[in-house]
Structures are given as C-alpha cells and as structure tokens.
Amino acid sequence: MTRIAIVGGSSEVVSDLIDVLADRGFDLSGLRVLGDESLAGEGIEAAGYDVRVEQAARGSLGTVDVAIFVGDGTLARLLVHEAHQAGAVVIDATPFSRSAGAPLVLPEVNAERIGELGEKRILAVPGPHAVGLAVALAPLHDAAGVKRVVTTVFDSAAMHGREAMDALSQQSVRLMQGRGLANDEFPEQLAFNARPQAAAIDGDGASHDEERLVREVTGLFGDAIDVVATVVRVPVFAGAAQAVWVELERPLETEEAERLLREGRGILLPEPRAASDVDGAGEPSLDALADDAYDDEPRDEEDEEPVEERAHDLRHDEGPGPVEVGGSEAVHVARIRSDAHGVAFWVAFDELRKGTSLSLVATLEIALRELR
C-alpha cells in the first residue's frame, strides 16, 4: 500500500483527486487529507471513501509515502520540506516548489524530466491554465517550433473557489430579478460581465495569474518561447477555455496543423463532417448532430438527450465551450486556422479533471515507476 496524503485545496479539488486516484487503481485505505482551519474537520466522500480532513500542522507528514499539494501554496510552504525529509514523493501543483527550483513537468510535454526526480523527490506540476495550453502546444512545437504565443484565457468562477461561485450565483439571481448589486457586498460584478483580471501592483502590469501562466509555459518549453497572456473573468461557473494564436518557426497548412493536433497526446478534435451529413444551405443534418463530437467516452443510450435539444449548440458552433467539456479527460481543440506566420485555435477543458487531477496523478504514476 502506498500511503498518500492530499494537502490543501478545496473539497471539490480533493474529491476529484480521490476519484482519479481510485480510477487509476491506487489503494486509498491509508489516505489522509490535510487542510487549513477552514476545511479541518469536514468530511469528504468520494469513490467509496469517507475521509475526515485533518488540520495541517508541522509534524503531519512524517509517515506518508506520497504527498500531493494543491491550493495556493501556503501549506506547501509549510510542509513540502518535511515531506521530503521523511522520504515521501512530493507532487506539487502550487507555485511553491516551482519557485524553489523543482523540475516543472507535464506528462504530455516533458515526461522525460520526471526521471530527474533523484534524491530530492519533488516535482512541480503547472496550474490548470498552463496545462490546457501546453498540451495543445506540444505537438505544434515538436513539428514546427513555437516562437510566440498570444492567448486570451476565459477564467471561470471555479478557479477562484466556492466563494466566487456563490457570488456569481447570487449576482445572477439578483440581476435577473431586476435588483441591483450593493458595492459593499459585491465589489466586483461577475454576472453578465467580462473583464480582465486586475493587474499586479508591481511589475509590467500583468496579473498574478497571467505571470504564472507565462512562467509555467516557458518553464515547460524553454525561454525561447515568448508568451503574452490576458486572463478575462467571465460569467461561467466551471470549465476553462482559451483563444490562442501561435507564431511558428516554419509555416503549417491548416490541414497539417489539424493532423498534428489530432495526433497529439491528450487532445480531442471534432470529427470532420462528411458532405452527406450536411442538409440544405450548409446546415448539418439532425442525423449528423446526433453524433456528439466532443465526448471521449461513449454515452449510454438511456442517457442520450433528444437530438432536438442539443442541435442548436452544435449547429451554430462546432467549437466546444466549458459546459460541453465538463468531466472530460482531454483538452478539446477546435477552430484551427493558419497563415504564413502561425496557427490560431480554440481550446476548452475541464480545469478540475484535466487541468488538475489527471496531471497530478499521471505525474505520480510515472514518478513511482521511475523509483522502482
């Protein structure tokens, strides 16, 4: 049995991590969950396990084999060194270990670096925004060399925790009822609005999330890549999406870029529409719309929604949004276009499942194999 501790993060993140660990065959009978005072004592049920959250404190991790850190890095700063001293493998999705010099790894991009685990046994994993972008960049970079990336990140409330999701819900209800928002209660309007994140006080005017995305993408691919990111808060509860422009060292035709992305690890593209699937003035037929191009796993027939209820979204936009990719284990890429300088495309992914849990667990699996 591998004794695993999950440290930090919300109950939603911890629950999803437990689900993925169980799905991947880990024995979680010795699982421990540690959190700050706001989460301590809470019960978390997932994958048939019922775990009570312990208060994180010095001395908490002396007997674990694996420590997975999530959250803002406060508890990582407190306990990563202790876990390392105890001989545990540390997989850290917070900014702490990356800033302390641990290798930054993502299985779809640089799995070979996980072999550098060595005696230190600490690996850093990028945040969700960087995960989704880097997975899509990897096949293009390998084939044509990425020089510059300009991305607009559409930031959901889930990225900022339960309080942000509650605020979006409450604001939506009030505005739909024709009531205003009190500035002292809601200093920022999330509902029915889109606005860039506030810039950091110091530096070049980028927000903290934008700076982190730049650091992590360049950390994965090398400083030769120039990254410009704008994070925009949008009225979406969960999910992640980005509109991306990539400048390449050599041009790619759209068809070649699509082929490379379709063959990339962890990526899904909509299936091409056959001519016979199109009716009348370029409208997809209802038979064609019945094939859900974005699910990476087949649905049970009894779970299928009637075609008429799903036709509108697919008819007018074949690029999946955050809602369509919820629960998916892939980065979904669509709207691929190229010219003499580079490629533009759209990505959408589940920031919790693909952007966090799967990246952490896949990294852990490789690290444990390397240590055998």
Domain co-membership, 186 together with 201: yes
Q: What is the pLDDT of residue 273?
A: 59
Q: How many domains does the chain have?
A: 2
Q: Is a pLDDT exceeding 60 seen at residue 299?
A: no
User: Burial code of 72-98, b = ≥16 C-beta within 10 A, e = fewer?
Assistant: ebebbbbbbebbbeeebbbbbbbbbbb
| pLDDT value at residue 347 | 97
pLDDT interval class at 281 (50, 70, 90): very low
CB contact at 8 A, 162 and 169: no
pLDDT of residue 149: 97
Of residues 291 and 61, more confidence is placed in 61
**Domain coverage including residue 97:** 4-125+357-371
Following CA atoms 124, 125, 130, 136 in sequence, which dihedral angle do they give, to the nearest 10 degrees? 120
Same domain, 287 and 165: yes
- Integer Cα distance of 99 and 258 in angstroms: 35
**Domain shared by 254 and 311, yes or no:** yes
Percent of the chain with pLDDT over 90: 64
Asked whether residue 143 falls in the same domain as residue 71, the answer is no
Report pLDDT for 94.
94
pLDDT digit string, tens, across residues 89-115: 999 999 999 888 899 999 999 999 888
Q: Are residues 328 and 341 in the same domain?
A: yes
What is residue 81's predicted lDDT score, i.e. its pLDDT?
A: 92
Q: What values do phi and psi take at 131, rounded to 5?
A: -60, -55
pLDDT in tens, 18-63: 999 999 999 999 999 999 988 888 899 998 889 999 999 999 898 8
- Whole-number pLDDT of residue 370: 86
Q: Are residues 365 and 259 in the same domain?
A: no
What is the C-alpha separation between 118 and 14, in angstroms, rounded?
27
CATH number for the domain spanning 364: value is 3.40.50.720
Does residue 44 sit in the same domain as residue 154?
Answer: no
When comparing pLDDT for 318 and 247, which is higher? 247
What length is written for the chain? 372
Give the chain's mean pLDDT: 86
What is the structure's pLDDT at 318? 73
Q: Tell me, what's the pLDDT at 316?
A: 40
Same domain? For 40 and 66 the reply is yes
pTM metric for this prediction: 0.85
Same domain as 288, residue 195 = yes
CA distance 337 to 344: 5
The arithmetic mean of pLDDT across residues 128-138, rounded, is 97
pLDDT, tens only, 112-121:
988 877 677 8
Mean pLDDT of 171-192: 88
Residue 371 or 238, more confident: 238
| Bridge partners of residue 35, in order along the sequence | 55
Q: Is residue 76 located within the same domain as residue 92?
A: yes
> Does residue 68 contact residue 9 with C-beta atoms inside 8 Å?
no
Phi, psi of 323, rounded to the nearest 5 degrees: -65, -45
Predicted confidence at residue 274, as pLDDT, reads 52
Q: Are 210 and 230 in contact (CB under 8 A)?
A: yes
154 and 12 inside one domain:
no
Nearest Cα neighbor of 17 from 83, 57, 60, 69 is: 69
Average pLDDT over residues 312-337: 80
Confidence of residue 202 (pLDDT cuts 50, 70, 90): low
**Same domain for 74 and 135:** no
